[in-house]
Amino acid sequence: MCIFCKIINNEIPSNIVLENDDFLAFHDINPKAPIHILAIPKKHVESFNDVSPQTMEKMTSFIQDIAKEMNIQDSGYRVITNIGENGGQEVMHLHFHILGGAKLAWTHLSDSNPKDFL
Ligand code: AMP
64 lies in a domain? yes
Which residue among 15, 29, 37 has the greatest number of ligand 1 atoms within 8 angstroms of its CB, and so is best to mutate? Answer: 29
- The predicted-structure confidence for 58-103, as pLDDT tens digits, reads as follows 999 999 999 999 999 999 999 999 999 999 999 999 999 999 999 9
113 lies in a domain? no
Domain count, the chain: 1
117 lies in a domain? no
Instruction: Report the CATH number that the domain containing residue 98 is assigned in CATH.
Output: 3.30.428.10
118 lies in a domain? no
Average pLDDT over residues 106-115: 90
Q: pLDDT value at position 19?
A: 98
- The predicted-structure confidence for 30-60, as pLDDT tens digits, reads as follows 999 999 999 999 999 999 999 999 999 999 9
| Catalytic residue (choose from 36, 93, 95, 97) | 95
- How buried is 115 (Cβ within 10 angstroms: 0-12 exposed, 13-18 middle, 19+ buried)? exposed
pTM reported for the whole predicted model: 0.97
| Domain interval for residue 34 | 3-105
CA 43 to chain centre: 15
Residue of minimum CA distance from atom 18 in ligand 1? 29
Neighbours of 35 (CB within 10 A): 20
17 lies in a domain? yes
Q: pLDDT value at position 30?
A: 98
| Contact (CB, 8 A) for 32 and 100 | no
58 lies in a domain? yes
Regarding the beta carbon of 113 and ligand 1, being less than 6 Å apart is answered no
Q: pLDDT value at position 114?
A: 86
14 lies in a domain? yes
Q: How far is the CA of 117 from the centre of ligand 1 (A)?
A: 31
